[in-house]
Chain A
Amino acid sequence: MEIPYTVQPRDDTGLYNAKVGIWLFLASEVMLFGALFSSYILLRVGSPEGYWPRGWLNVPIGTVNTLVLITSSITTVMAWASCKMNQFGRFKVFHACTLLLALTFVCIKSYEYHDKFTHYEITLKDGRIADGHIVENNPKADHVVISGRYVQDRKDLYDLEARKAPHHHEEITIPRGQIEKMERYGPWHNTYLAIYFTLTGLHALHVIGGAIVIGFLWGPGSKLWETDPERFTNRIEISGLFWHFVDLVWIFLFPVLYLI
């Protein structure tokens, strides 16, 4: 006996099996990201006044990434619609765009991560704090050069939006002997970066995973179109649902991390 309702929907539910399956999976993903968002709120509410970073992320770049994902969402739904309208060629074009947009998103994210990983906070022995991007960090040299600024109070590093005048960066050379502590802006640096890297990292993994699935269906998996176009279209719909969910998460991630 064959497993029924793999393509044809069941009468009383009106759904085919994989659709039920993917929505159940997406429900669990809602709980996963929901737990992380709850953690974000708790960590932020629990942080001392003035020590939660604001303005540490580049808003124009984030906006571009948001537009990239939204565009990939429309190309995804159009790819499915093309399959439904029996236009295989257009499906190929639309999902090729989806894959390129996914790649763009990941590249932009990598650039943002790189920016954080080259950003250092250096506490000097005399109490001053230097903060900026690495220009020169030769282990053999006895000094470190960053492009940034000095601050007296650590709190000044946190709220970059409140400051009226744009800070200008200058090249600062610091002898290694004067360095008390030197730490880059990785997830260990503070809980904001920790939750930022975790949220966006997990989201990026979902982008990559979704892109791999869509890429497989676009490439080797598209052979199914010749033998069972309806089943293939359903697969495009299922993978599309996952992709839209990834876009949905970003719709919340962007304002939460970048804007507020």
Chain B
Amino acid sequence: MQATAPAIPHTEVHEARHEEAGFWSTYVFSTDHKVIGIQYGITALFFLLFGFCLMMVMRWQIAHPGEAVPVIGPLLAAIFGDVAAKGIVSPDLYNSFGAMHGTIMVFMAIVPLAFAAFGNYVVPLQIGAPDMAFPRINMASYQAYVVGGLIMFVSFFIPGGPAQAGWTSYSPLATSIATDGQTFWIIGMVFLITSSLLGAVNFIATIIQLRAPGMTWMRLPFFVWAQFVTAFLLLLAFPPLEAAAFMQLMDKVAHTSFFLPTGLAVGGNLAHVSGGGSPLLWQHLFWFLAHPEVYVLILPAMGIVAEIIANNTRKPLWGYKSLVYSVLAIGFLSFIVWAHHMYLTGMGIRIATFFQTTTMIISIPSVIVLTCMFISLWGGSIRFNTPMLFVMAFLPMFGIGGLTGLPLGLSYADIHLHDTYYVIAHFHYIVAPGTIFALFAGIYYWFPKMTGRMMNEFWGRVHFWLSLIFMNLIFQPMFAQGMAGMLRRMADGGANYSQAKMEGAIGGLSAGIMNLHTYILWAAVGLALAQIPFIVNLFWSIRNGTPVTSDNPWDATTLEWQTPTPPPHGNFLKPPEVHRGPYEYSVPGHARDFTPQNEPG
């Protein structure tokens, strides 16, 4: 279907839909994958902002332990009572903010945005399908996500506050804290996991069954391959965590001892439990999910990066086959590396070596993916628009994040680095200037297809440069802090282990290392301010952005750009016929420098 007709103004399509169905079934209880994708996107962006705010409060406490939080201190005291008395972040409040920052960012912000939002909107369009295979299950998965998110959000306001035992929720600590926050966390997780499972089934079935005629596996855009593997990771890795969450819930409310060892003492007294359980069992089941989960965080981002690189270099991706096989290898290997998060639990050398080996091996396909993307830039006619800027920054940022993972994957080096700020820097480099940059790029890139308008290019660049600078200023010092021995999850920012506190102590944190906290806090403030142009730009451009002059403003080859703007219900009038691969840019002898996949001939 050729889509060179002028773009239909958004308001007209808006009105047409009103005639078909009411507000509630169009915008709230919709089974249309595009509406569900946008619903996921907006909800996830809200949680991203909320998780970011939690981090700001934590960074204040780290840089100024024991001092009242400025501006919002009284608000914290009003909501949380004792644990935020006089606006000062107590260790309990710090721990709960830390646990929820991680939980919210991973499960309620990044995964729903990267996998569910972008995947739902773009994948059916890119494969030439009218919708997902199971639209009502799609709606149910969004609703489960909202319920889970609400439970997590509400847990902030119950007596005792939210969960406090980290996003990793290790037993016995998780179930020994007397308040109900952990119960809310577990029940919220069950809903979030259910949402992901339903989504995963939908994605895989859709990609297998609903590809348009001529869309063979090796003609799929790389974004679809990435989402396909991501869906498998969610499908097979989440259930053990669901089982473990259920067992931890029983430990908390039914007083079982799945994860509680014999002889457990809480607060100096023997706990009234049967014992006989294993805390390590929780860790194994948790990390069996949580390791594939980190690949869930990065693979959709790699998919977005690939699409935008091909489009803005005006040449095919280098090494499409290598990319596909690498992403399949990453998916498979990610299931057998998990215990590299558990090197310090007293594992023997044999099993530690096994996991170290698989961890080293999995870095190979990751490097292949990054290398293919770098080589794809070579000889390209690069267009430096906002999406491309974010994507080009992704490459070295993800490179730093990935390479700094190698010492962590080696069990010997990990002895020194485990649970330090080095780990925090490593994974934030991958997720923050890594995944989130790719997600920003995706928003700028696909915004014109969703709304018929472009986001403002100037403010996009402002957003990009400020975010890049401040993210590096926040996380780069953390490598130094980690190598100096500063541990994670310390509510006083390590003050109790500083040389200032313990004169002449070996390994005490130096003043220089401690002073980095202040710079990191200012950089975090800078990063927060840098998001303001983005938020304003996003909402302002929906109505006031430059209207696009065609349905394919980026001159892209993939099928989502060959539909009206925005795509109507059912996407295509009849199934598009695919005649070529996804990246036919600058093909010699052709008049235009791109050929859409469904163009005949």
Direct contact of A and B (CB under 8 A): yes
Q: Write the nearest CB–CB distance from A231 to chain B, whole angstroms.
A: 14
| Shortest 3 CB-CB contacts between residues of A and residues of B | A35-B240, A32-B239, A194-B256
Beta-carbon contact of A27 and B236 below 8 Å: yes
CB nearest to B251 among chain A residues: A194
Residues of chain A with a CB closer than 8 A to B208's CB: 13, 20
Interface centre among B201, B243, B277 (most CB of A within 10 A): B243
Interface size class of B (residues with CB under 8 A): 35 or more
Q: Complex Cα distance A2/B130, Å?
A: 7
- The tally of residues in A whose CB lies under 8 Å from a CB in B reads 41
Contact flags B114-142 to A (C-beta < 8 A → 1, else 0): 00000000000000011101110100000
User: Given A39-B281, A194-B258, A1–B572 Cβ distance below 8 Å?
Assistant: yes
Residue B205 lies at the interface, judged by CB distance under 8 Å to chain A: yes
Residue A215 lies at the interface, judged by CB distance under 8 Å to chain B: no
Residues of chain A with a CB closer than 8 A to B258's CB: 39, 43, 191, 194-195, 198
Residues of chain B with a CB closer than 8 A to A17's CB: 133-134, 205, 209-210
Binding site for B on A (CB under 8 A): 1-5, 10, 13, 15-18, 20-21, 24-25, 27-29, 31-36, 38-39, 42-43, 46-47, 51, 186-191, 194-195, 198, 202
Beta-carbon contact of A43 and B281 below 8 Å: yes
Extra contacts, 14 of them, besides A13-B208, A191-B256 (Cβ < 8 A), are: A3-B130, A3-B210, A4-B209, A4-B210, A20-B133, A21-B137, A27-B235, A31-B238, A39-B243, A42-B281, A43-B258, A190-B274, A191-B277, A194-B256
Q: Which chain B residues numbered 56 to 70 have a C-beta less than 8 Å away from chain A?
A: none
CB nearest to A22 among chain B residues: B201
Q: Complex Cα distance A46/B239, Å?
A: 23
Beta-carbon contact of A13 and B209 below 8 Å: yes
- Which of A21, A186, A187 is in CB contact (< 8 Å) with B201? A21
The A contact surface, by secondary structure, is helix
Residues of chain B with a CB closer than 8 A to A18's CB: 134
20 contacts between A and B (CB under 8 A): A1-B575, A3-B131, A3-B135, A4-B210, A21-B133, A25-B201, A27-B235, A28-B200, A28-B236, A29-B239, A31-B236, A31-B239, A35-B288, A39-B258, A46-B276, A191-B276, A194-B250, A194-B256, A194-B277, A202-B246
- Which of B205, B240, B250, B570 is in CB contact (< 8 Å) with A24? B205
Q: Complex Cα distance A54/B256, Å?
A: 19
Residue B254 lies at the interface, judged by CB distance under 8 Å to chain A: yes
Q: Complex Cα distance A160/B357, Å?
A: 45
User: Given A31-B240, A198-B247, A189–B274 Cβ distance below 8 Å?
Assistant: yes
Residues of chain B with a CB closer than 8 A to A186's CB: 254
Interface centre among B129, B242, B256 (most CB of A within 10 A): B256
Residue B278 lies at the interface, judged by CB distance under 8 Å to chain A: yes
Q: Complex Cα distance A1/B576, Å?
A: 11
CB nearest to A34 among chain B residues: B240
Residues of chain B with a CB closer than 8 A to A188's CB: 254-257, 273-274
CB nearest to A190 among chain B residues: B274
Residue B90 lies at the interface, judged by CB distance under 8 Å to chain A: no
Beta-carbon contact of A32 and B243 below 8 Å: yes
Q: Complex Cα distance A47/B573, Å?
A: 64
Residues of chain B with a CB closer than 8 A to A195's CB: 258
